[in-house]
Amino acid sequence: MTGLDRLNAKLAKLKNTDAADQTVTGGTDSILAILLSEIDETILAREMMLINEAGDEVKLLVAGRRLLRVGRPGPRNDRPPEEPSPDASEDEVFSDLIAAFNGPVRDFLDRASEISIAAQRPHYRVDPTEIGCSADILAQALSESAQPIVADDPIAAGLGAAVAGLRLSGGDVAETVGDPALAERLIAFAGSGLPALDQVMGRDPSQPGCAILPAPEPRDLLLACIAAGEDKALILAPGDTISRLVSLCRLSTA
Amino acid sequence: MAPSAKIRSLRRSTPGCRVIAYVDLSARLVLYADSDESVPQEVLDALCLRGTRLLGGAVADAAMQALAAASPPREAILFRNGAIEAFIRASGGSDEALCCVLSPVVALDPFLAAAGAEIDRLAAPEDAQAAQVPERNP
């Protein structure tokens, strides 16, 4: 089975084919994740066509493990004057691609009751210097739009999501936030479990690192350690914040 | 379906899932591993050791206290070296677990749910697995 066959089989499973004319949002995130993975695995240029049950399609141009364009294939200079020029900055291109991916592409997937995907080599030359968005950048943007959480200071962001947290600096507790009783549990963890957790995280201090341990069912609480530089945040957070913390960890460790 | 085929199927159904190792935490032993590319045994052993420490060692014991839980965490997620590592232990006190290396773009929630269900099936006693197979009509 080719990679494309596998993807189509996956898409067919993810979309509810009995839900015609219904906005299906439950599967969209999973399909977007699959698309991101496809982008990440595509080296040679190809046009990917997302096709709904009515035959409407959205085209993506992908090359070099980057999304180059959404909905406007063709030679690079063959474009309407209102679109970014080939000399647009990286930030402008990223902004346009992210807006298109998170807007029209997501809307198209939400509205479709059946989605298939086809791919072909473009019949035109793709400029190898054309700026594109990696799957990591797109994933970060999708995470940010779904769960606004800042990663400029992952320690502060982690503490902000916590019901109780410790900021540890060089092994000492520099700050305590939230419920004092829960913070006491974290202080106990810092003494008994953190050295072993540090070993597991085994990181270079110049690289951020994250570990998340959800409580067993009903997963009402989770323990997380977010490390950046010499500082760490050790937090207890509600179980339903796991998506936010995963987004934060993706952003801070990307 | 053989355990190896089940693990392969799980990995291939998750784009971006690079490695799944089926391990015994108490023995610190990799029972089987599936990946597209060859992964050195030392790398698999280190992955298994991280799973053991997170789900069965001092980290798990201390986490259980911090979470005020009746049992150690069943799942752990680690972000390291530009990848996500997910560790999922079988429920019911079994020592079997899946240790997985994922691309950062993988949707974690559906993967954890699928991996949790799969490790429970793998860890189920053989007689329980046989009971799940529908009997053939005489």
Residue B13 CA, distance from chain mean position = 15
> The tokens 């982690």 sit on which residue?
A158
CA distance B110 to B16: 13
Interface list for A 123-142 with B (CB within 8 A): 135-136, 139
Instruction: Tell me which residue of B58, B59, B78, B99 sits closest to A226, measured CA to CA.
Output: B78
3-state secondary structure at position B38: coil
CB contacts of B60 in chain A (<8 Å) are: 213
Q: Are residues A186 and A221 in the same domain?
A: yes
Domain that holds residue A223: 154-253
ipTM confidence score: 0.90
Q: Are residues A8 and A130 in the same domain?
A: yes
- pLDDT category at A74 given cuts 50, 70, 90 is low
What's the order of all strands across the beta sheet hosting B17-24? A172-178, A164-169, A231-238, A221-228, A209-214, B75-80, B83-89, B96-102, B17-24, B29-35
Residue type for A167, please? R
- Supply the CATH classification number for the domain B3-125: 3.30.450.30
Instruction: Tell me which residue of A157, A176, A181 sits closest to A248, measured CA to CA.
Output: A157
Q: How many residues does chain A have?
A: 254
Q: Are residues A49 and A142 in the same domain?
A: yes
Residue type for A140, please? Q
B77 and A246 Cβ atoms separated by less than 8 Å: yes
- pLDDT category at A22 given cuts 50, 70, 90 is very low
Residue A225 CA, distance from chain mean position = 20
Q: Are residues A137 and A228 in the same domain?
A: no
- Whether residues B106 and A33 touch (CB distance < 8 A) is answered with yes
A29 inside 8 A of chain B by CB: yes
A167 and A233 Cβ atoms separated by less than 8 Å: yes
A203 inside 8 A of chain B by CB: yes
Pick the most confident of A17-31, A35-49, B16-30: B16-30
CB contacts of B12 in chain A (<8 Å) are: 6
- pLDDT category at B21 given cuts 50, 70, 90 is very high
Q: Are residues A141 and A177 in the same domain?
A: no
Q: Are residues A219 and A238 in the same domain?
A: yes
Residue type for A22, please? Q
- Whether residues A209 and B76 touch (CB distance < 8 A) is answered with no
Last residue of one domain, picked from the residues A121, A146, A171: A146
Q: Are residues A56 and A141 in the same domain?
A: yes
Q: Which among B13, B78, B107 has the least Cβ separation from residue A200?
A: B78
Interface list for B 64-123 with A (CB within 8 A): 65-80, 82, 84, 103-110
Q: Are residues A61 and A171 in the same domain?
A: no
pLDDT of residue A145: 58
CATH number for A235 = 3.40.1840.10
Residues A151, A157, A161, A164, Cα dihedral to 10°: 150
What's this model's pTM, rounded to 2 decimal places? 0.63
Tell me the domain boundaries of chain B.
3-125
What are the pLDDT digits (tens) for B81-101? 778 999 999 998 788 999 999
Q: Are residues A112 and A31 in the same domain?
A: yes
Instruction: Tell me which residue of B104, B66, B106 sits closest to A249, measured CA to CA.
Output: B104
Q: Are residues A81 and A132 in the same domain?
A: yes
Q: Are residues A137 and A175 in the same domain?
A: no
- Whole-number mean pLDDT of chain A? 77
CA distance A66 to A52: 23
B133 has pLDDT over 50: no
Q: Report the gap between the CA of B18 and the closest CA in chain A (Å).
A: 12
Last residue of one domain, picked from the residues A146, A178, A193: A146
Q: Which two tokens mark A190?
A: 């810092």
B128 inside 8 A of chain A by CB: no
Number of domains in chain A: 2
What's the order of all strands across the beta sheet hosting A133-134? A115-120, A46-52, A57-63, A66-70, A133-134
pLDDT of residue A108: 80
Q: Are residues A129 and A191 in the same domain?
A: no
Residue A37 CA, distance from chain mean position = 11
